[in-house]
Chains A and B, each alone.
Chain A
Amino acid sequence: MSIAIDYAPPARRLRQQASRDDLVKLGFMAVIGLYLIVALGAPLFVMLSKSLSTYRFDLSAFEFQVSDETGANWATAVTADALNKELGVVAKKDLATNSDGRLAVTKFFPQFNFRSPVHYRIRGVTDDAAFLVGSTLEKGTAWREYDSAAFRRVVLRPASSLGIENFKTYFSTPALARSIYNSVLMASISTVVTVSIAFALAYALTRSCMPLKGLFRGILTIPILVPSLLPGIALVYLFGNQGVFRDWLMGYSIYGPIGIVIGSVFFTLPHAFLIILTALSVADARHYEAAASLRASKWRTFTTVTVPGARYGLVSAAFVVFTLVITDFGLPKVIGGQYGMLAVDIYKQVIGQQNFEMGAVVSVILLVPAVLAFAVDRRMQKRQVALLSARAVPYAPKRNVRMDGFCFAFACLVSLFILGMIAMCQIAALVKFWPYDLTLTTKNFAFDLMDGGGWAAYANSIKLALLTAFFGSVIVFAGAYMVEKADGFRFGRSVFHFLAMMPMAVPGMVLGLAYIFFFNNPANPLNSIYGTMTILVVCTVTHFYTVAHLTALTALKQMDPEFESVGASLKQPFHRLFFRVTLPVCLPAILNIGIYLFVNAMTTVSAVVFLYAADTKLASVAVLNMDDAGDIAPAAAMGMMIFYTNVVAKLIHAVVSRGLLARTQAWR
């Protein structure tokens, strides 16, 4: 009896422990999930509904009366629809239009003459029916009377309704539909090139004994430190019509596909490199020993041990690069020439024509790759096996002169490409008037005299970057932990992971616009954050969620689930395991996430361009604005300021992480 009582409580406590853990985890996941829904799902939904809101002229909503020549006797009222049926002046397909479509009412009156004494009356059948007299808005069901001269200026406005006409219009416009092909082509080519280079480099850094690894590692992450507009600017200076090396292109123009691919490889390389490096950096030496003892050739070891080990990272990197290229608008805007790309189309529709609906349609089309990425990513993930088991032995590469030499040469080549682009920007920033006056000057750094917000914008950018790095790392890592290590709630975790994958495919411009529609709505309780630094931080964290999430996930995946089992069987609550084991093991990844968010917050343009307010202007937006105005040299100068800031941040990060890692990563 007493033995039974003694025995029972611990067992019950263990169950309670587990379920309390689960509840806490569920709670955390719900909070971060809610964050993603508010910061991403809801705004995108608003955007989606925008894409379905169409405009057409509702002719049955307007009634006219015409007087005789005395202006006193009126004929019976007749709707515009009836007049159109009789006269057939407006074809059915021409009734579909944009929000700024206008239809002159005189079309319905073939006898119309603006000098005649005839008077006209017009009214809406519903309260919403709107028309313009010149540019004055009139609404409602009251009759309004105009003489012929004024009636000439009356135009009908379209009514908005729900429908898929926008998509029909999109696909029937050859130039727009062509952009899908162009974007996919550019993204595919850039992905193959970038991932190949990134893999080779990550391989060289983790599997060879080449010298100067730290230096190369630093150089290879340089492109992430600059806004994506900057490679565009560099390419103009290098290969433009007045470029230093324009002859290298043998008559081909840098403005177009060539420029887009070169620039895309430049700015996506570090993203792919970081992911693949994380995947390759934890290798189990036992696999290589096994391969060696089985007398496997080098190539066979490579294809059966190295590549499969990094498979998950490779696929992630490929999708990251693909979506980065397809959603980036800064680079094709500067260097794309007449080559239509989806992201630039959004820019043209939204900024050029204020056609939010069509911009939303293009964005919805851009979401397709994200859904595909998600499907493939989930499939790959299921096959992923933890590489770093609790019994793993860290791999140490062996010296091999030929292989090391080859790796070194390749790393040098890529580094030269990267440093060359940056050097060109630095020269551009210091030259007085390219290409006619090459004297050096610092006047390009007098930002207060240019578009964009001056030095205050630069200070704001640093503040944004710090806040984003801190809150972003906390949110992202906690979220990734919940997805990867929580038991149960399969459905909730899938939804969460899906939300976490989405931001990568959402062009910043779409996200920014979606934020305006969602947050700048008096009915929204979160309305107060609109126009503040908070919304910039929320937007930036969300915009760069995916890569950070994938980095955290890749690091977490390399931890054997046995840690959790052991922790549970030792009756340790999950948070103890989290803080004592998971966090220290993943610390390099977390620090990488922090610095990744910092530099991206410094360089991001598109997402925040709609969200900044008078006192929250940003340096990166200044680069865009200055380039837009054609002040390319100051744009390059501000870009270089961002670059130097990020370099300093990187150095601080290196020092801090060295100190921390010495304490937590001694086992590596």
Chain B
Amino acid sequence: MNRHMFFMLAGAMSVALPVIASAQTELTVYTAVEAVDLDRYKATFEKAHPDITINWVRDSTGVMTAKLLAEKDNPQADVVWGLAATSLLLLKTEGMLEAYQPKGVEALDKKFVDRDTPPSWVGMDAYVAALCYNTVEAAKLGLTAPQTWEDLTKPEYKGHIVMPNPSSSGTGFLDVSGWMQMWGEEKAWSFMDRLHENISAYTHSGSKPCKMAGAGEAVIGVSFEFPGAKAKSAGAPIDIIFPAEGSGWEAEATAIIAGTANLEAAKTLVDWSVTREANEMYNVGYAVVAYPGIAKTVQHLPSDIAAKMIDNDFEWAANNRATILKEWQKRYDAKSEPKS
């Protein structure tokens, strides 16, 4: 019955609306943006540009990046909207991105835009490394809250910290590359050697350590601010701590896939993605956005997060990733096996 109705309606529509249908451009947009935000982003954009329809393909950052790389010779996506800048840099080095100077990109904070002109990617917002600290479990164990990264190496936290594995999580890598950029490689490795003694598990996802801390599976989750705020709203007894030394961060960014059949529509989308309106839209979930001066405070998060962000060199991180991960695996993957 329903199916029947559907076909009748579809038939009627295809007869009645050929003009509108032909004017409509459909864009296949790959994204790693939180699902809860997708409908809002789609609706807001389509309201501004009713002639373009967005078809989302969403997955986690790792899956999306792997999918894009695997499709290198026959790209399925028109636009990537909301993927880690580091991933987009990787795509850029494969020659997969269409360089394009979006209208109004000058208004954005420079550190959110690709260094080349015209840029291959433009940033939307940032996620910033942070600690999720379960106050209830900490009280049970008589722990005090860490204030710095260095604090995490104190013996009292042994077995109570989870962090994402940099080889399988972008968040994990931004932590490691952040420490290296702050302190230099030698000091960062020595810090990680000591931190490793306290880690109870390396997770595959960047938000999971925070959720684990929220659920009391761990006391401290090395994660980023967004899942922290989300978990806190859901009722998790956690504090979100930004270590005093500063935090590594990653930009969520937008790019056009080279060879798209819908270049004009893709440009329209990227143009819109850098507007003030779009950035206000990102600001609902993300405390730091690419458009300077408009960010409002997000619930449960401090207002000065932007000040905690280190000066992140995406290019350095991308070009040294293979070497860093090789060393990381050599040091910690082998040791992290249980001695059974």
Contact = CB atoms under 8 A, between A and B. Distances in A.
User: Do the two chains bind?
Assistant: yes
Contact of A434 (B28, B115, B215): B215
Contacts of B89: 135
B217 A348 contact: no
A590 interface: no
A135 B116 contact: yes
A339 B338 contact: yes
Interface string A65-100: 000000000000000000000000000000001101
Interface in A521-536: 521-522, 527, 530-531
Interface string A591-625: 00000000000000000011001110000000001
Interface string B170-202: 000000000000000000000000000000011
A513 B66 CA distance: 9
Nearest to A185: B340
B35 A97 contact: no
Contacts of B319: 102, 104, 132, 135, 155
B215 A435 contact: yes
Interface stretch (B56-64, B101-109, B267-275, B300-308): B56-64
B283 interface: no
Contacts of A347: 168, 204
Contacts of B321: 100
A126 interface: no
A452 interface: yes
Interface stretch (B5-13, B14-22, B142-150, B234-242): B234-242
Given A134-B115, A631-B211, A436 B136 contact: yes
Nearest to A612: B57
Contacts of B323: 101-102
B86 to A, nearest CB: 10
How many B residues are at the interface, by size bracket? 35 or more
B320 A102 contact: yes
Interface residues of A, number: 73
A613 B63 CA distance: 13
Nearest to A337: B201
A452 to B, nearest CB: 6
A353 B235 contact: no
A648 interface: no
A338 interface: yes
A102 B168 contact: no
A628 B66 contact: no
A255 B337 contact: no
B63 A340 contact: no
B318 A135 contact: yes
A436 B120 contact: no
Contact of A352 (B67, B90, B204): B204
Interface of A: 97-98, 100-102, 104, 132, 134-137, 153, 155, 157, 173-176, 178, 182, 236, 240-242, 255-257, 333, 337-340, 347-348, 350-354, 356, 432-437, 448-454, 513, 516-517, 520-522, 527, 530-531, 609-610, 613-615, 625, 628-632
Sorted nearest first, the 7 A-B pairs with minimum C-beta distance are: A630-B211, A352-B168, A175-B333, A351-B62, A451-B35, A614-B55, A433-B235
11 contacts: A102-B320, A136-B116, A173-B333, A351-B62, A352-B169, A436-B236, A451-B35, A452-B35, A520-B74, A522-B74, A628-B204
